[in-house]
Chains A and B, each alone.
Chain A
Amino acid sequence: DSGVTQTPKHLITATGQRVTLRCSPRSGDLSVYWYQQSLDQGLQFLIQYYNGEERAKGNILERFSAQQFPDLHSELNLSSLELGDSALYFCASSAAEAPDTGELFFGEGSRLTVL
């Protein structure tokens, strides 16, 4: 158990809908990362927050947004969903601001299926 909690574990929805994925980091970790994992693309970095502030941004679509709250949990919002958004979404947390100064601990992921 990594200590990172992601909910829901599974989510099935229809195209055009909006969903929210939630992540609770390990106790004390200030950094939260979001990754998208699909079969053909591997782990794609979406966005990172550190202590409530956006620190780094990857290839995150404009239809996607995220935030980190004062209690350090984070939410990833996906809107106007398309079939291609079906994937496993991982949250990872770290005590450090940068990936090379603190290990990333991954949750078990939220599997999103868009029908």
Chain B
Amino acid sequence: GENVEQHPSTLSVQEGDSAVIKCTYSDSASNYFPWYKQELGKGPQLIIDIRSNVGEKKDQRIAVTLNKTAKHFSLHITETQPEDSAVYFCAAYKGYSTLTFGKGTMLLVSP
């Protein structure tokens, strides 16, 4: 089955800095890659997603890039704010399969 590796497991940045979280996947047939944010005491929430026919997608301060050849995708958060502190999960999916999550990255943004 699909295997998703996520790095780093923890990331500490200063407010205003950029943060980058990277994921690799094993199944070249995967074609949908969402990112979820989990705040303390809550369930994960979708923040952005990308499909295999697109190389980059942006939504205000967050962006996701996808390299199908290398089978990796990344989440970029610019101008980080304390409220960005959370656990971020990447995931991969192909048709007739299941959504497979990485193990998560704890992002801490210090004021």
- Which residues of A lie under 8 Å from residue B89 when comparing CB positions? 42-43
A106 and B44 contacting across the interface, CB-CB below 8 Å: yes
B110 close to chain A: CB less than 8 A = no
Interface residues on chain A, size class:
20 to 34
B43 and A99 contacting across the interface, CB-CB below 8 Å: no
A58 close to chain B: CB less than 8 A = yes
A98 and B45 contacting across the interface, CB-CB below 8 Å: no
User: Which of B42, B43, B103 is the one whose CB lies under 8 Å from A41?
Assistant: B103
How many of chain B's residues have a CB under 8 angstroms from any CB in A? Answer: 22
- Which residues of B lie under 8 Å from residue A92 when comparing CB positions? 43
A25 close to chain B: CB less than 8 A = no
A48 and B98 contacting across the interface, CB-CB below 8 Å: yes
B11 close to chain A: CB less than 8 A = no
- Which residues of A lie under 8 Å from residue B100 when comparing CB positions? 45
- Which residues of B lie under 8 Å from residue A72 when comparing CB positions? none
Residues of A within 8 A of B (CB): 2, 4, 33, 35, 40-45, 48, 56, 58, 90, 92, 98-100, 103-109
Residues of B within 8 A of A (CB): 31-32, 34, 36, 41-46, 51, 89, 93, 95, 97-104
- Give me 29 A-to-B residue pairs in the complex whose CB atoms sit less than 8 angstroms apart, sorted by A's number: A2-B43, A2-B45, A4-B43, A42-B89, A42-B102, A42-B103, A42-B104, A43-B44, A43-B101, A45-B98, A45-B100, A56-B98, A98-B93, A98-B95, A99-B32, A99-B98, A100-B31, A100-B51, A100-B93, A100-B95, A104-B46, A104-B99, A106-B36, A106-B43, A107-B43, A108-B41, A108-B42, A108-B43, A109-B43
